[in-house]
């Protein structure tokens, strides 16, 4: 919006405030200029609409008041245009990103961030261009898990440039804006939503094959705002651990996707089993004490190697929940103490041990996810 344009629309009767201004501001305008008609229209500015009331002649005092309110209107118009530009950018941005995947869980601590970072890294290892957006505003962990905490955001021409992470994953996180990582962030509703929209609209992602979006637990403001602000979301991935309590909550995430008419791309079962490995006499049986002392029998192979998988949090719950709710099951990720260490050290397990069990499990999950994303444009995608 240029200045000239702003001036030609400065007649108060021609300005429709956006739905954003505060009640206070709207009231002040009405007092000074009765001809302003506040409206909830999406279009912030309307040029000389046909139904406007005739303008009253202005005396000197009114002209003075006009000058003051013109400044206010200009500010409003700037705000309105900033919003319009952001909407436009969001639309353009959405076009440049092939797949947008939201990672959700009903329960906290089930491994959303681990999974979101793992999906991003696995896809990037295939040579794809991947972005990772950390929408967990109050507890943003992505930078720490990927070893880029403390990175400085680069802003150019009003656009925020994401921080490059391992395998070239482009990362954006509220953590980059926090001066003190340990200070709690308390955002009231509208500010939080504004920040999320800014995150979506003001980031220079460029062309991406996939954007993975990590959320705080639950189905509250954050996923709702993203779902409503970002067009053409490919779908939702639900992370769960295998036990019943977590599964109950993950059903809520699946129903959330359903309510918003977003495809549920599938369920991932995390911390599915812990594999113990050892060595013994080749071709002999051995017995391992499992949970609660239950003996588990296994065989040593010809080289004397044996392995046993302990289902720490039950087994198969994610798969049966997916089946029950009619959504795809994308696979299970093992319980891996290396994931905990990697998360704390900032070296993701996939980076530290690219051929290990976790990296391989992620590859399978990603393959299944990609199959769902490919079906996205075809007729057989299961839209719940």
Ligand X SMILES: Nc1ncnc2c1ncn2[C@@H]1O[C@H](COP(=O)(O)OP(=O)(O)OP(=O)(O)O)[C@@H](O)[C@H]1O
Which residues contribute to the site for Mg ion (CB under 5 A)? Answer: 112-113
Shortest Cβ 111–Mg ion spacing (Å): 8
Shortest Cβ 98–ligand X spacing (Å): 25
Which segment (29-37, 136-144, 221-229, 290-298) binds ligand X by CB under 6 A?
A: 136-144
Shortest Cβ 118–ligand X spacing (Å): 9
Q: In what helix (H) or strand (E) does residue 159 lie, and over which residues does it extend?
A: strand 159-161
217 sits near ligand X (criterion: CB under 6 A): yes
Total residues contacting ligand X by CB under 6 A comes to 21
Question: Which of 111, 140, 165, 242 is close enough to bind ligand X by CB under 6 A?
Answer: 111
Shortest Cβ 354–ligand X spacing (Å): 16
| 328 exposure class (CB count in 10 Å sphere: 0-12, 13-18, 19+) | buried
Answer for the pair 295, 289: CB distance below 8 angstroms, yes or no.
yes
| 251 exposure class (CB count in 10 Å sphere: 0-12, 13-18, 19+) | middle
Contacts of 167 by beta carbon, 8 Å cutoff, 6+ apart: 121, 124, 125, 130, 351
Binding mask 315-344 for ligand X (x = CB under 6 A): ------------------x-xx--xx--x-
| Segments in 217-272 forming alpha helices (H) | 221-229, 244-259
Dihedral sign computed on CA atoms, order 336, 337, 338, 341? positive
**Which of ligand X, Mg ion, none has residue 173 at its interface (CB below 5 to 8 Å by kind)?**
none
Nearest alpha carbon to residue 233 among 242, 244, 223: 223
Which segment (39-47, 101-109, 259-267, 289-297) binds ligand X by CB under 6 A?
A: 101-109
Closer by beta carbon to ligand X, 99 or else 112: 112
| Number of helices and strands in the chain (H, E) | 12, 14
Q: Which two tokens stand for residue 230?
A: 């970002």
Question: Which of 105, 122, 219, 370 is close enough to bind ligand X by CB under 6 A?
Answer: 105
Shortest Cβ 378–ligand X spacing (Å): 31
Closer by beta carbon to ligand X, 14 or else 358: 358
Question: Which of 14, 29, 113, 122 is close enough to bind ligand X by CB under 6 A?
Answer: 113
Q: Whole-angstrom Cα distance, residue 253 to residue 348? A: 26
Rounded alpha-carbon distances, angstroms, from residue 184 to 69, 103, 140, 192, 204? 39, 23, 11, 14, 28
**Which of ligand X, Mg ion, none has residue 68 at its interface (CB below 5 to 8 Å by kind)?**
none
Q: Whole-angstrom Cα distance, residue 304 to residue 282? A: 4
Question: Which of 108, 190, 278, 304 is close enough to bind ligand X by CB under 6 A?
Answer: 108
Closer by beta carbon to ligand X, 139 or else 280: 139
Shortest Cβ 112–ligand X spacing (Å): 4
Q: Whole-angstrom Cα distance, residue 104 to residue 259? A: 14
Residue 208 in 3-state DSSP? strand
Rounded alpha-carbon distances, angstroms, from residue 306 to 227, 256, 279, 332, 358? 47, 43, 6, 22, 19
Which segment (21-29, 35-43, 105-113, 225-233) binds ligand X by CB under 6 A?
A: 105-113
**Which of Mg ion, ligand X, none has residue 176 at its interface (CB below 5 to 8 Å by kind)?**
none
223 sits near ligand X (criterion: CB under 6 A): no
Site for ligand X in 255-294 (CB under 6 A): 270-271
Task: Summarize as ranges the residues that interact with ligand X (CB under 6 A).
Answer: 105, 108-114, 136, 139, 141, 216-217, 270-271, 333, 335-336, 339-340, 343
């Amino acid at each position: 919006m240029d200045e000239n344009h702003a001036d030609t629309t400065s007649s108060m009767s021609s300005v429709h405030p956006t739905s954003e201004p505060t009640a206070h501001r709207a009231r002040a305008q009405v007092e000074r200029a009765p001809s302003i008609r506040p409206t909830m229209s999406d279009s912030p500015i309307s040029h000389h609409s046909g139904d406007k009331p005739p303008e009253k002649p202005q005396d000197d005092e009114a002209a003075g008041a006009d000058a003051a309110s013109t400044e206010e209107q200009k500010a409003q118009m700037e705000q309105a245009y900033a919003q319009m530009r952001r909407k436009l950018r969001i639309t353009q941005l959405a076009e440049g990103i092939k797949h947008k995947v939201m990672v959700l869980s009903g329960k906290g601590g089930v491994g959303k961030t681990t999974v979101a970072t793992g999906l991003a890294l696995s896809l990037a290892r295939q040579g794809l261009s991947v972005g990772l957006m950390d929408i967990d505003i109050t507890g943003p962990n992505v930078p720490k898990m990927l070893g880029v905490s403390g990175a400085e955001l680069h802003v150019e021409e009003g656009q925020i440039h994401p921080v490059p992470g391992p395998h070239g994953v482009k990362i954006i996180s509220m953590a980059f804006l926090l001066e003190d990582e340990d200070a709690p962030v308390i955002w009231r509703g509208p500010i939080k939503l504004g920040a999320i929209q800014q995150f979506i609209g003001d980031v220079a992602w460029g062309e991406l094959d996939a954007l993975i979006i990590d959320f705080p637990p639950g189905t509250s403001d954050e996923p709702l705002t993203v779902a409503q602000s970002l067009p053409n979301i490919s779908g939702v991935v639900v992370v769960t651990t295998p036990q019943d309590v977590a599964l109950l909550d993950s059903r809520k995430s699946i129903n959330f996707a359903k309510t918003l008419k977003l495809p549920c791309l599938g369920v991932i079962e995390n911390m599915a089993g812990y594999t113990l490995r050892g060595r013994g006499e080749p071709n002999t049986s051995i017995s391992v004490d499992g949970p609660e002392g239950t003996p588990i029998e296994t065989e040593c192979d010809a080289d004397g190697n044996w392995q046993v998988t302990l289902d720490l949090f039950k087994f198969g719950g994610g798969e049966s929940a997916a089946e029950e709710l009619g959504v795809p099951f994308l696979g299970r990720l093992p319980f891996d103490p290396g994931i905990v260490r990697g998360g704390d050290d900032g070296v993701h397990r996939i980076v530290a041990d690219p051929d290990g069990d976790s990296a391989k499990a992620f590859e399978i999950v990603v393959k299944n996810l990609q199959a769902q994303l490919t079906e996205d444009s075809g007729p057989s995608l299961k839209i719940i």
